[in-house]
Amino acid sequence: MSRSTPSRSPVALSLPILLALTAATGCSSPAEPAPAPAPAASSTTPVRKATPTDAAWVQLMTPMNEKAVALLTLAADRATEPRVRAFATRLRGGQEAELGRLRPLLARMGLPDTDVHAGHAMPGMVTEQDLAAAKAAGGAAFDWLFLTRIRDHLRHSAQVSRSEITAGARADAKRLAAALVTAREAALAELEGLPGAGRALG
């Protein structure tokens, strides 16, 4: 079914809006999964279910980080400015470490480690088209594309994570969301001081 492409404006997406958007665009619903069969007495502790808000957040943040890591990998090797390459390398390490916490959180919630937003241009998500454009770009054009796309990723993922902090229910998800917000605020502050950022970000 045809879908309109969401705007790449810097206006961030809140988690309640995300819940409505995923329903409207046909994304997998983040509703609570069906109960698993009752465990045997010798089984480990049962998986704690996710609330719709918690599930929406972790099912968005995981592919957002995965796509960002792909762009950061390109930038760490191909950005023109050494400071931009160094920034991309550090941020990639941080995003990979977050994935090391997001994926186990999915498992604890009983959710599949799959991209339920595949094929949808979610705000802040680095797309396959972005990656293709980055691979084709060079010099200052590559730096401009990288800076604008990673800025959007950081802004939107921070806003969605703030919504998880205020509207989520699971303590482990809220703790991780708070850590992600702190990391993104620091990254955005550093990003604004990078060479070329003034021209790219306006």
- The reported pLDDT for the residue numbered 15 is 58
* Average pLDDT value for residue range 139-158: 96
* pLDDT of residue 191 exceeding 70: yes
Q: Which of 1, 2, 7 is nearest to 121 (CA)?
A: 7
- The reported pLDDT for the residue numbered 92 is 98
For 69-116, how does the pLDDT look when each residue is reduced to its tens digit (9 = 90+)? 999 999 999 999 999 999 999 999 999 999 999 999 999 999 988 877
**Measured between alpha carbons, how far is residue 125 from residues 44, 66, 83, 140 in Å?**
36, 10, 24, 22
Q: Which of 22, 6, 2 is nearest to 121 (CA)?
A: 6
CB 84 within 8 A of CB 75: yes
- The reported pLDDT for the residue numbered 175 is 97
Q: Which of 48, 46, 59, 88 is nearest to 71 (CA)?
A: 88
pLDDT-derived band at 196, boundaries 50, 70, 90: confident
Share of the chain above pLDDT 90, in %: 65
- The reported pLDDT for the residue numbered 116 is 77
Q: Which two tokens stand for residue 39?
A: 């465990």
Give the helix ranges, DSSP H, for the chain: 15-25, 52-78, 82-109, 128-136, 139-167, 171-192, 197-201
* Average pLDDT value for residue range 120-124: 80
pLDDT-derived band at 47, boundaries 50, 70, 90: low
CA distance 110 to 54: 12
pLDDT-derived band at 43, boundaries 50, 70, 90: very low
* Average pLDDT value for residue range 33-57: 59
CB 188 within 8 A of CB 158: yes
CA distance 76 to 79: 6
pLDDT-derived band at 48, boundaries 50, 70, 90: low
**Dihedral angle computed from the Cα positions of residues 118, 122, 128 and 133, in that order, rounded to the nearest 10 degrees:** 170
* Average pLDDT value for residue range 137-155: 95
Residue of higher predicted confidence among 182 and 16: 182
For 161-173, how does the pLDDT look when each residue is reduced to its tens digit (9 = 90+)? 999 999 999 999 9
